[in-house]
Amino acid sequence: MKTKVVFCILLIFSTQLLSQDFSVGFNYSGLISGKNYKSLSFYNLEAEYEFMKDILSAGLSATVSDSRINKSFIKNPPPDDPYESSLKVGVQTKYFPYIIKIDSLIIKPFIGIEMGIYNSIGIVTYLNMPSNCAEQYFFGRNKAGFFTNLNFGSIFYPEQPLSVIFGFKFQINNPTVKYDQPICSETEYGQIGEIRRTEKVNLNVLVWNIGFRVNF
């Protein structure tokens, strides 16, 4: 009897879950404002469902970022602006305060939050010497860092099953930079030692975001 009750509860829950709006999407983001960035791009995949229809959604996200950092804010800067690439995974939620209907077009403004962890790929900036003497910059490489995104925008439903999303994202990210500054030999054209340095940096940034979603 208990088994039947549990089965019925799971069946009802699964049916209810599958009946909600589920979507997967791809988004691209570009730099608007971030004093410590020269350039920045986000490539994002997301999957989410509305467990409270037209009110609240939740989901998962994976983002690859590619950026160039402004060297002037680093206390011991490299000879050139370093590049950073990172992988971010997180959870996100969106709140839809109201719905706008214009003929067959449905517009759903939203505000949301995304939180997760990231791991950066090391940055290598070469000096004016052979490649065996180079400064290596790591943005949180030795341990995972945390980020928070504040999202706002609108989702446009011109027709099912496709929809378009446009909005803005403010990312809060203050990683610790870890890098090895080499001591180079001008006669042997190689590295004869290194100085290990660390410092916390401000990589907060505002980006615009556009993408498409497939709704099920």
* DSSP letters for 66-87: EEEE-GGGSSS--SSPPEEEEE
Mean pLDDT for the chain overall: 80
Identify the weakest region by mean pLDDT among 81-90, 173-182, 185-194.
Answer: 185-194
Of residues 119 and 125, more confidently modeled: 119
At 113, give phi and psi (nearest 5°).
-140, 145
pTM for this predicted structure: 0.78
Of residues 160 and 137, more confidently modeled: 160
Of residues 70 and 193, more confidently modeled: 70
Domain 22-215, CATH: 2.40.160.20
